[in-house]
Structure 1
């Protein structure tokens, strides 16, 4: 799922659907919700469709796909929205080498306010240089 997230972040969110993602890089509104949250909702719907196809249509391989999307969605919510961006005031005091590396890589990603010249499009797997 990390590669899938990296690919969609780099080529879709920073590509043809930048109009939905840009408010995540440059907040241009007063709402707690972002247009970027549409991606979270989209993947939740895809996961639910996978569970439906497994449960009612008997298509076995949609179960692991649905579970993978669900697991990554939970990780995204906890790591990205809560831990990194502090959309909720939880997990603020986590301080270890991995946590600092993930935060540094994400901070570098947000250094660029436009859709071009970005780096670090993944979330859970980041380059070793951010752990130093």
Structure 2
């Protein structure tokens, strides 16, 4: 049952991420997300990195309070959010944006499509007219683009 809670949480996080990215990061908190699009920050860290802290706080709270009650469902929800956050860091920051120069070459159609969809998102410097706000879900048009290339 606990594994199912973690798995459902990870799946639901994709929808939550889309909503938060589109309406909060490209809305109310654009001030923190803007430098991620316009590359106005010249250092290693961006204001956008504050979102890691913002999202980590409820995760830590869920895991802490869930662990006080013999690892109840709150702990496993927090664990699912944490695992999603780890995937986000590895895929978004390391693979897509190459903040660390590893995993730059791939022939995997899913990862190529994921990178292309994210590039489409970043072609818009402003907060309006964005697309591809999700993280792990890749619109089929990008996936098909790379899947067809490997079939030939």
Query: TM-score range, shorter-chain basis?
Result: over 0.9
Structure 2 residue 98 is the aligned partner of structure 1 residue 86: yes
For the pair 1:128 / 2:140, whether they are aligned, the reply is yes
Runs of 4+ residues deviating >4 angstroms: none
Within 5 A, what are the aligned runs for 1:52-91? 52-57=64-69, 60-91=72-103
5 Å-filtered alignment, 1:1-132, equals 1-57=13-69, 60-131=72-143, 132=145
* Structure 1 vs Structure 2 CA RMSD: 1.2
Query: CA offsets, 1:12-57, max 9 Å, x none?
Result: 0001000000000011121110000111111122211111111125
Flag structure 2 segments of 5+ consecutive residues without an equivalent.
1-12, 146-152
1:78 positional shift: 0.7
Please identify the structure whose Cα radius of gyration is greater.
2
Higher helix share: 2
Task: Give the distance between the partners of 2:71 and 2:20, measured in 1 at CA.
Answer: 25
Q: Compute the TM-score of the two structures, normalised by the length of structure 1.
A: 0.95
Per the TM alignment, residue 98 of structure 1 is displaced from its structure 2 partner at its CA by 0.3
